[in-house]
Amino acid sequence: MSTPYQQAQREGQSVVRAAVLDAAKLLLISEGPAALTVRRIAAEAGCSTKVIYTLFGAKDGLSEALWLEGFARLEQRLLAVPHEEGPLDRLMAVLGAYRAYALAEPDYYRVMFLGALPGFRAGEEATRTAKHTFGLLVASVAACLEAGELTGGAAAEIADLLWMAVHGAVSLEIMSYFEEADASPRYRLLCASVLTGFLPAHDRRS
């Protein structure tokens, strides 16, 4: 039976990189941050330590790569939201995609936002990359403002409020504070409640 590394090797370097990151993620989930040594990750992925040093530099580079991989996966999820809907409908779909990502990739979400890697601090370039992902939410809000479907605030301000709300909601959900049957309608209500204050006066609902 071939190792994850050997299987990935046949598909190219980007797949090798993903296989190593997945191995690191599994160690993080099962044994905690202390298990994230280059030697342990290499053993889990079935590759040499040289492969990891070549791809990521060392443990710090690997931690940053895990963090960035989470944002890359979130960005793919947000970009997949269809464009044919109206701006406000699409914004709600983007917020739904954010929740769907957190539920589908809770371990990456913990790395990105919930301190799963104690002491880790992303570098400036990595932080800029993460902010680019958040920019997709800002752009969705800006489209609503331009279309007159939202009013009374700047795109970045409204996006910040939305992110503060949805981050709190999905964080509680992935930590099993809510059942999915309850969480889904409450999530939609939360998003709608935040946006109500920015709807044109004639569209506001009591």
pLDDT per residue, tens digit, the chain (206 aa), is 555 555 545 445 677 788 888 889 888 888 888 888 889 988 888 888 888 888 888 888 888 889 998 999 999 999 999 887 799 999 999 999 999 999 999 989 999 999 888 888 888 888 888 889 999 999 999 999 999 999 999 999 999 999 999 999 999 999 999 887 889 999 999 999 999 999 997 565 44
- DSSP character at residue 203: G
| pLDDT of 2 | 55
| Continuous segment of H or E residues that includes residue 159 | helix 155-174
| Residues 8-23 pLDDT 10s | 454 456 777 888 888 8
CB atoms within 10 A of CB 34: 10
CATH C-level class of 1-57: mainly alpha
pTM: 0.84
CB 77 within 8 A of CB 101: yes
What are the domain boundaries of the chain? 1-57, 58-203
Which contacts of 26-35 are long-range, i.e. CB under 8 A and separated by 24 or more positions?
28/66, 28/107, 28/111, 28/116, 28/117, 29/107, 33/116, 33/117, 33/118
The token duo for 83 is 């464009």
* 58-203 belongs to CATH 1.10.357.10: yes
pLDDT, position 3:
57
Nearest alpha-carbon partner for 111 in 169, 65, 55: 65
